[in-house]
Structure 1
Amino acid sequence: MISRRRLLSLTSAAAVATIAAVSQISSAEAADKVVKFQLAWLPNAAAAGEIVALEKGFFKDMGLDVEILPGGPSTNTVQETLAGVATIAHAYAPQIMYAADKGLPIKSFGASFQVAPLTFYSLGETGVKSVADWKGKRIGASQTGLPQVKALLDHSGLSIDDITFVQAQIPALMQGQVDVVASWPTNLATLEPIANHPGGYNTQSIWDNGLQFQSNYYIATTETIENDSAMLAAFLEAVDKGWSYVADHPEEAIEIVTATAEGLRPEAEAAALKVMLDGGYIYNEDTAEYGFANVDKDRWQRTLDLYAKIGEIGELKTGDVFDSSILDQTELTKR
């Protein structure tokens, strides 16, 4: 026979067990979703929005436990994402196109850079002021930059046979080994010899010469896009908040970036960030109308068509490299 005292004891025990179970469920539901974000390059001002979003708790506010993985010259973010090392990654347009051409299940769903900054530089005394002037010249770039060179030549009615391609960097330009060399206007430290050249210099950006890449695309597997769209939308909204904070508080943003990555010079990163923000790389007329991380479908298609024309890929459509569903479900800052 169960006594009243025993009944009360059992009831109390059951209540405690129920409360504990509910507490466990609530804790599990409240736990932040783990997300590993892979950078294409080493942490610097180009990833200021993501780094600030992490340090300011913007990811956490969206229910995400984000870890930022540093990249570098040997990092292949497409492979890292396909292998499950990264949930989301930064990637460049050629990487995404080549992956799609191979039928790999990965797509872009946003882009932090509205304009890819890659630019070719020539010294003033060479007289090279446009891609049309490249004929008969020595053009320097990395081996991975050769397709971009071919694309720019095609846009100007030239071909690779009209130039001498050399794997080279800025020192080769300054030493007269090449007539033109590829670099990035956001890397002011590297560009210093060109900027200080007494004879001046000229620029030919890929954007102004028919190759309108965006850059720092956000990529994920097609499975993640289809099955975890809410997480990807939350990620973009947190990064949006991060970049807005960077734009409003650039000095503090540089302090945060340089504190989280060794070897960065604050003055150089501050100068680079100013170029990114003032030069229309992060915010421009497109983001003012459509919002942060906007991706232009027509530009993607033109880029795909150009790369197919020069024989780098087969025929692809925008839908093969970009999924608009994540941007469609987010409300991102228009500025």
Structure 2
Amino acid sequence: MKAKIFRQPKLWRFLALLGALVMVATACGNDDGGDTQQPEATMSPTAGGEGEQPEMPAAGSEDEPAELTEVSLQLQWVPQSQFAGYFAARDLGFYEDVGLDVEIIDGGLDIVPATVLDSGGADFAISWVPRGLVPREEGLNITNIAQVFQRSGTLQVSFAEAGINEPADLAGKKVGNWGFGNEFELFAGLNSVGLDPKSDVTLVQQDFNMTALINGDIDAAQAMIYNEYAQVLETINPETGELFQPEDLRVIDWNEVGTAMLQDAIWADADRLESHAKYRDIAVRFVEASLRGWIHCRDNFQECVDIIMAASPLGGPGHQAWMMNEINALIWPSPGGVGIMDQALYDQTIEVATSQGVLASAPDAGAFRTDIAQEAVDNLRAAGHDVFGNNYARQDVQVTEGGQ
């Protein structure tokens, strides 16, 4: 049995979204983000008071099975190891354990998770922090309820012979970047060493791959450590006939430079959190089961790779294994507990966002909240789960040609 979450109508936002979709064709993945119609306003019979877990019948009970509350999650991109924790929570029954039936909605280039969330097209969404804060500044009342990634995965990658070892070495170079708001860590990094992105480097619009770097069209390429960086290592070096090796490359890590911005987080509808206690209760349960999924992927690496492969991801099993390894390293260790916001890293993100004009001003205190994630973490700790991962170590992943 299933029950839908109560959704607060937001007619004006829905109409605005619909109008925008009619007038503008965007290209920024593969799905339309799912049904944005508002379901009937029914209260979830499984959602109790704030912080309560639904009562589940004891084994062998003749009572009717407890109803599951239908919940939808909008991804930022298509299925891949970046989202393995959510697929693990769904496929291994962690969501069901807390009374939820979760639909995971694919993202894509033309999907803005914040907009889908605010319009009522999804109950929760995964989005990088700046990509949630910008729509929020523009009027969408959403809030970050669990900061899953503790570190940025964005790099600037070059070949060793280019001699680019730090941001200052980018002066006079052809520097690739994707645009679409992905360039701000790079720009802040250039500014930090006195370089003007508009005049001291040659900016080149880069595709979401490493072809331009491999072909020598640019000197340094933007890359995610869990994706594009691996694409180079999965490519045959024509000079050696073997795969490129890490020592062939030089990497600028924005975490080390100090201009990194926080990325994947779980976002919720702030209006509903304030006006509907049942939605907040569901949010706690959703975050708890999701974080349990990430704990499982930390401790059961290959199983989570297999789960993602079954979800029809981009890339082969070798590439997804690399990605799973690096995604885990962005989450673990979590010094304050998985999903808990690191205030210093948040402040750094806001500093970069405001200095680069991503945000007009620092957001108010409602941009994120820690009570929901803290309650979820407390529940997980009480159940015996390691929510810190202090002993986490990367797996030894073998790079394969083409990620196969």
Q: Secondary structure at the match of 1:215?
A: coil
Distance 1:123 1:328 in 2: 43
Report matched runs for 1:1-335 at 5 Å. 30-144=66-180, 145-160=182-197, 161-169=199-207, 170-187=210-227, 189-192=230-233, 193=235, 196=244, 200-226=248-274, 227=276, 228-261=279-312, 264-277=315-328, 280-284=329-333, 287=334, 289-317=335-363, 319-330=365-376, 331=378, 332=380, 333-335=387-389
Deviation at 1:320, TM superposition (A): 4.3
Unaligned regions of 5+ residues in structure 1, if any?
Answer: 1-25
Distance 2:314 2:167 in 1: 36
| Contact kept in structure 2, 1:297 and 1:318, CA below 8 Å | no
Q: Closer, same or farther in 2 for the Cα pair 1:310/1:276, shift >3 Å? A: closer
Q: Closer, same or farther in 2 for the Cα pair 1:310/1:31, shift >3 Å? A: same
Distance 2:302 2:288 in 1: 22
Distance 2:230 2:245 in 1: 14
Distance 1:184 1:327 in 2: 26
Distance 2:297 2:355 in 1: 39
- Which is further off, 133-142 or 187-196? 187-196
**One-letter amino acid of the structure 2 residue matched with residue 102 of structure 1:** E
Q: Say which one has the larger Rg.
A: 1
Distance 2:132 2:314 in 1: 30
**One-letter amino acid of the structure 2 residue matched with residue 118 of structure 1:** T
Q: Secondary structure at the match of 2:101?
A: strand
Deviation at 1:313, TM superposition (A): 1.6
**One-letter amino acid of the structure 2 residue matched with residue 167 of structure 1:** Q
Residues 249-277 of structure 1: CA distance to partner in whole angstroms, max 9, x if unpaired?
21222222211225552222122212333
Give the aligned partner of residue 6 of structure 1. Answer: none
| Contact kept in structure 1, 2:79 and 2:314, CA below 8 Å | no
Q: Closer, same or farther in 2 for the Cα pair 1:309/1:252, shift >3 Å? A: closer
Distance 2:258 2:104 in 1: 33
Q: Secondary structure at the match of 2:183?
A: helix
- Which is further off, 299-308 or 34-43? 299-308
| Contact kept in structure 2, 1:301 and 1:318, CA below 8 Å | no
TM-score (norm: length of structure 2): 0.70
**One-letter amino acid of the structure 1 residue matched with residue 257 of structure 2:** N
Q: Closer, same or farther in 2 for the Cα pair 1:298/1:103, shift >3 Å? A: farther
Distance 2:177 2:363 in 1: 28
**One-letter amino acid of the structure 1 residue matched with residue 86 of structure 2:** E
Distance 1:156 1:317 in 2: 27
Distance 1:236 1:189 in 2: 30
Residues 207-228 of structure 1: CA distance to partner in whole angstroms, max 9, x if unpaired?
2222232221111111233232
Which consecutive aligned stretches of 4+ in structure 1 deviate over 6 angstroms post-superposition?
26-29
| Contact kept in structure 1, 2:142 and 2:267, CA below 8 Å | yes
Give the aligned partner of residue 11 of structure 1. Answer: none
Q: RMSD of the alignment, in Å?
A: 2.3
Task: Provide the identity percentage.
Answer: 24
- Which is further off, 96-105 or 164-173? 96-105
Deviation at 1:100, TM superposition (A): 2.8
Distance 1:113 1:98 in 2: 19
Q: Closer, same or farther in 2 for the Cα pair 1:302/1:318, shift >3 Å? A: farther
Q: Closer, same or farther in 2 for the Cα pair 1:243/1:146, shift >3 Å? A: closer
Deviation at 1:203, TM superposition (A): 0.4
Q: Secondary structure at the match of 1:220?
A: strand
Q: Secondary structure at the match of 1:316?
A: coil
Residues 298-321 of structure 1: CA distance to partner in whole angstroms, max 9, x if unpaired?
321222122212223222146242
Distance 1:90 1:263 in 2: 18
Distance 1:265 1:153 in 2: 35
| Contact kept in structure 1, 2:336 and 2:342, CA below 8 Å | no
More helix by share: 1
Deviation at 1:142, TM superposition (A): 0.8
**One-letter amino acid of the structure 1 residue matched with residue 129 of structure 2:** A
Residues 270-304 of structure 1: CA distance to partner in whole angstroms, max 9, x if unpaired?
22212333xx31211xx2x3211121123212221
Residues 179-219 of structure 1: CA distance to partner in whole angstroms, max 9, x if unpaired?
11101121265232487069711101222222232221111
Distance 1:40 1:175 in 2: 29
Distance 2:247 2:255 in 1: 25
